[in-house]
């Protein structure tokens, strides 16, 4: 009997040894492609990993309603980085790396449409904008959104006014992607009130819940 135990133990130990021997090189090879690290720091990631599907799709910007929770956390992280660096959107490799971090088993974040908010070289419009570019070129829109959605910090804001100022953001010239410009303006505005959680929460409750141009409650 003790002999049997011993040999079982040996088999067991060798198995564990072999497992680590083989799995380490595999792990290393697999993790290599995402060598560009994600420059965003996600807060409350556990809520995303455990998220529930919510109505509202940022006026159909998001392709699935289950995308909203990961996206809101993504927006927070964009604003936090913009506060530190002045940069707004990510480039494509950074984007892939960041979406990998917020993917969960409920939503395929790669199918949400978030990757539309990527810096695309050679494209006009707002994709490559820094916060300073937004303030210089879309200053009226920043003031418009700030006025339209501004009272949310006191729970007095009207969602209708906020949605109106959101829809008025179109870009600088014809052909600009309105969504890229809207999120650039929103991020530039959020970045200056990064600690105002109530405002951030209410603006999402309003704009995030817009469908087909109408707010839903």
The contact set with ligand NAG (CB under 6 A) reads: 36, 39, 43-44, 46, 50, 54-56, 83, 91-94, 105-106, 191-192, 194-195, 197, 205, 209, 216-217
- Taking the alpha carbons of 78, 81, 82, 83 in that order, is the dihedral positive or negative? positive
Nearest approach in angstroms of CB 181 to ligand NAG is: 19
Q: Is 118 helix (H, G, I), strand (E, B) or coil?
A: strand
List phi, psi (to 5°) of 209. Answer: -95, 10
Query: Cβ closer to ligand NAG: 170 or 205?
Result: 205
Query: Cβ closer to ligand NAG: 16 or 216?
Result: 216
Nearest approach in angstroms of CB 90 to ligand NAG is: 8
Query: Cβ closer to ligand NAG: 94 or 177?
Result: 94
For residue 98, what are the contacts with CB-CB under 8 A and spacing of at least 6? 38, 39, 40, 74, 77, 90
87-116 as b/e: b if 16+ CB within 10 A: bbbbbeebbbbbbebbbbebbebeebbbeb
State CA 23 to chain mean position distance: 32
Nearest approach in angstroms of CB 204 to ligand NAG is: 6
- Identify the burial level of 162 via C-beta atoms within 10 angstroms of its C-beta, where 0-12 means exposed, 13-18 middle and 19 or more buried: buried
Query: Cβ closer to ligand NAG: 12 or 154?
Result: 154
Nearest approach in angstroms of CB 178 to ligand NAG is: 22
State the pairing for strand pair 214-215/210-211: antiparallel
Query: Cβ closer to ligand NAG: 82 or 169?
Result: 82
Query: Cβ closer to ligand NAG: 8 or 85?
Result: 85
Nearest approach in angstroms of CB 23 to ligand NAG is: 18
Nearest approach in angstroms of CB 79 to ligand NAG is: 9
List phi, psi (to 5°) of 43. Answer: -95, 150
């Amino acid at each position: 009997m003790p002999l049997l135990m011993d040999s079982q133990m040996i088999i067991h130990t060798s198995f564990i040894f072999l497992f680590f021997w083989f799995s380490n090189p595999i792990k290393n090879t697999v993790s290599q492609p995402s060598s560009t690290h994600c420059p965003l720091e996600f807060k409350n990631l556990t809520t995303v990993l455990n998220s529930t599907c919510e109505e509202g799709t940022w006026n159909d910007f998001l392709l699935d309603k289950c995308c909203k929770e990961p996206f809101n956390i993504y927006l927070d992280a964009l604003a936090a980085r913009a506060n530190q660096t002045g940069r707004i959107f990510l480039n494509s490799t950074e984007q892939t790396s960041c979406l990998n971090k917020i993917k969960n088993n409920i939503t395929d974040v790669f199918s949400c449409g978030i990757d539309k908010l990527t810096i695309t070289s050679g494209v006009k419009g707002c994709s490559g904008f820094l916060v300073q570019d937004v303030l210089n070129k879309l200053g009226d829109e920043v003031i418009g959104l700030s006025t339209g959605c501004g009272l949310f910090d006191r729970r007095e804001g009207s969602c209708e006014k906020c949605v109106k100022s959101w829809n008025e953001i179109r870009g600088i010239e014809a052909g600009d992607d309105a969504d890229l410009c809207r999120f650039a303006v929103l991020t530039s505005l959020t970045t200056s009130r990064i600690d105002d959680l109530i405002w951030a929460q209410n603006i999402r409750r309003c704009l995030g819940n817009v469908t087909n141009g109408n707010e839903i409650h």
